[in-house]
């Protein structure tokens, strides 16, 4: 039971219809993604814009429907035929923390009502229990109790993110998707929020899907890391392995590109080119136009995610025997 994953994603695909002057084309946001999340762990999902990481996170909490595949949360498949009912059954166990703390709180709603919103929607608490819970949540995230009557504009970005986290925890969820929760914050605030998320995980046994573009932040929070590129997972490994020994050329390029706060650091050559268009992805491996190791095979055949070591998977022909 302990090792039963709480989230199982299998062959998840998502396409969007994009209208333009010449008609409609199909945007492949996710092209067959697989991953599991264990109880109490944090899966870090890293990638650049257009990698599909945010789309995956939104599908996991039912904000957008999957096009095909299985999304099993606590054994309920929310992407299947009976998805709506399955989602309703697990809804109180899922939550989402957004990137922009200025957009994720209703400016005309007092903090108390904002935090209590999931409780009010579920209708599970008496008036007194609800207010007690709000006070408890404020304390949990390190905000004064008298914040209840205030409005979002009276708080700084870091404090707002604490409020958003309190709201997410209102119904004691088991699984929280954090979509770039600190990337809009100042460095000194970032560290406070990251530590808060880690503390809460320890105390409450939460599991996170932590979506971020910042590899260093992901390292600080994750148990395992999945690197995404153009709608697919290209590498999946325990945290220590990804950072010390990245296998996929894109993972390496991404790590090399991060600016270091260390003037002695000697940089590898920068990867050339840009992320391909998801409307018209290149044939074969989607990274091959930018890859220094691209072979003929990469240009025609898309590599699948294969086991490349204990607990690690990579989608690259260099690692397929």
Partner 1 sequence: MIMPLLSVRNLTVQFRVDSGWVTAVDDVSLDVGEGDCVGIVGESGSGKSVTALSILQLHQRATTRIPSGTITYQGQDLLRERGSTMRRIRGSEIAMIFQDPMSSLNPVLTIADQISETLRQHQGLTGVAARKRVVELLGLVRIPDATRRADDYPHRLSGGMRQRVMIAMAIACKPRLLIADEPTTALDVTIQAQILELLRDLRKELKMSVMLISHDLGVIAEFAQSVIVMYAGRVVEEAPVAQLFRRPVHPYTVGLIAAVPKLDSDAPRLATIAGRIPGPQEIIVGCRFSPRCALVQPRCRDEPPLMQPVSDGQSARCPPRILVLGERHG
Partner 2 sequence: MTDTGLGSLTTVHAIAAPRGYGAWRRLLRHRSFVIGSSIILLLTLAAVLAPLISPVDPSAMRVRFRFRPPSQAFWFGTDMFGRDVFTRVLYGARVSLFVGFAVCVVSGLCSAILGVIAAQFRRLDGAIMRLMDALMSFPAILLALGIAAALGPRVSSVIIALTVAYIPAGVRIVRAAALTVREMDFVQAAQVSGASSLRIVLRHILPNCLSPLLVHLTFIFAYAMLAEAALSFLGVGIQPPIASWGNIIAEGRDYATEAWWVMLFPGIAISLAALSLNLLGDALGDMLDPRLKGGE
Residue reference for tokens 């909490």: 61
Residue 14 in the binding site for partner 2 (CB under 8 A)? no
Structure tokens at 276: 């391909």
Q: Of 29, 33, 77, give the one whose Cα is nearest residue 50.
A: 29
Between 7 and 234, name the residue whose CB sits nearer to partner 1. 234
Residue 211 in the binding site for partner 1 (CB under 8 A)? no
Between 106 and 277, name the residue whose CB sits nearer to partner 1. 277
Residue 63, binding choice from partner 2, partner 1, none, Cβ under 5 to 8 Å by partner class: partner 2
Residue 272 in the binding site for partner 1 (CB under 8 A)? yes
For the chain, the residue count is 321
Part of the chain binding partner 2 (CB under 8 A), chosen from 26-34, 140-148, 277-285, 306-314? 140-148
Residue from the set 1, 17, 21, 270 that interacts with partner 1 by CB under 8 A: 270
62 neighbors 142 (Cβ within 8 angstroms): no
In 171-294, alpha helices (H): 187-204, 215-221, 239-244, 249-257
Q: Which residues, other chains included, contact 295 with Cβ-Cβ below 8 Å and sequence gap of 6+? A: 317
Kindly write out the interface string for residues 235-274 of this chain, putting x where it contacts partner 2 by CB under 8 A and - elsewhere. ----------------------------------------
- Beta strands 175-179 and 94-97 are parallel
Residue from the set 30, 61, 209, 278 that interacts with partner 2 by CB under 8 A: 61
Residue 192 in the binding site for partner 1 (CB under 8 A)? yes
Residue 253 in the binding site for partner 1 (CB under 8 A)? yes
* Euclidean distance between CA atoms 101 and 191, whole angstroms: 15
Residues pairing with 19 in the sheet? 24
* Euclidean distance between CA atoms 289 and 117, whole angstroms: 47
Residue 294 in the binding site for partner 1 (CB under 8 A)? no
Residue 103 in the binding site for partner 2 (CB under 8 A)? yes
Structure tokens at 188: 């000194």
Three-class SS of residue 263?
coil
Q: Could you say which residues in the range 99-158 bind partner 1, by CB under 8 A? A: 156-158
Query: Under the rule (CB under 8 A), what is the footprint of partner 2?
Result: 61-63, 88, 91-92, 94-96, 98-100, 103-109, 114, 117-118, 121-122, 140, 142-144, 147, 150, 153-155, 159, 164, 167, 171, 191-193, 195-196, 199
């Amino acid at each position: 039971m302990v090792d039963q994953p709480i989230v199982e994603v299998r062959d998840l695909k998502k396409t969007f219809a994009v209208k333009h002057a010449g008609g409609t084309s199909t945007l492949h946001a996710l092209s067959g993604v697989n991953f599991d999340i264990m109880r109490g762990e944090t899966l870090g999902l890293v990638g650049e814009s257009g990698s599909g990481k945010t789309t995956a996170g939104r599908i996991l909490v039912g904000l957008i429907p999957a096009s095909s595949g299985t999304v099993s949360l606590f054994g309920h498949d929310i992407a299947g035929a009976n998805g709506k009912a399955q989602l309703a059954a697990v809804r109180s166990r899922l939550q989402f923390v957004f990137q922009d703390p200025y957009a994720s709180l209703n400016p005309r709603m007092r903090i108390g009502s904002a935090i209590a919103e999931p409780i009010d929607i579920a209708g599970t608490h008496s008036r007194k229990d609800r207010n007690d819970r709000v006070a408890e949540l404020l304390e949990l995230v390190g905000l004064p109790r008298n914040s209840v009557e205030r409005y979002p504009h009276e708080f700084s970005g870091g404090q707002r993110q604490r409020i958003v986290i309190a709201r997410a925890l209102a119904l004691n969820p088991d699984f929280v998707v954090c979509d770039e929760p600190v990337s809009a914050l100042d460095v000194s605030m970032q560290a406070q929020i990251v530590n808060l998320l880690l503390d809460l995980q320890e105390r409450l046994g939460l599991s996170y899907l932590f979506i971020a573009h910042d590899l260093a932040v992901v390292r600080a929070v994750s148990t395992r890391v999945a690197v995404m590129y153009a709608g697919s997972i290209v590498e999946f490994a325990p945290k220590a392995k990804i950072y010390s020994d990245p296998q996929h050329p894109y993972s390496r390029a991404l790590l090399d590109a991060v600016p270091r706060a260390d003037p002695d650091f000697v940089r590898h050559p920068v990867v050339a080119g840009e992320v391909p268009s998801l409307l018209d992805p290149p044939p074969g491996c989607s990274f091959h136009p930018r890859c220094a190791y691209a072979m003929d095979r990469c240009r025609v055949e898309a590599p699948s995610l294969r086991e490349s070591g204990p607990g690690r998977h990579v989608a690259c022909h260099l690692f397929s025997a």
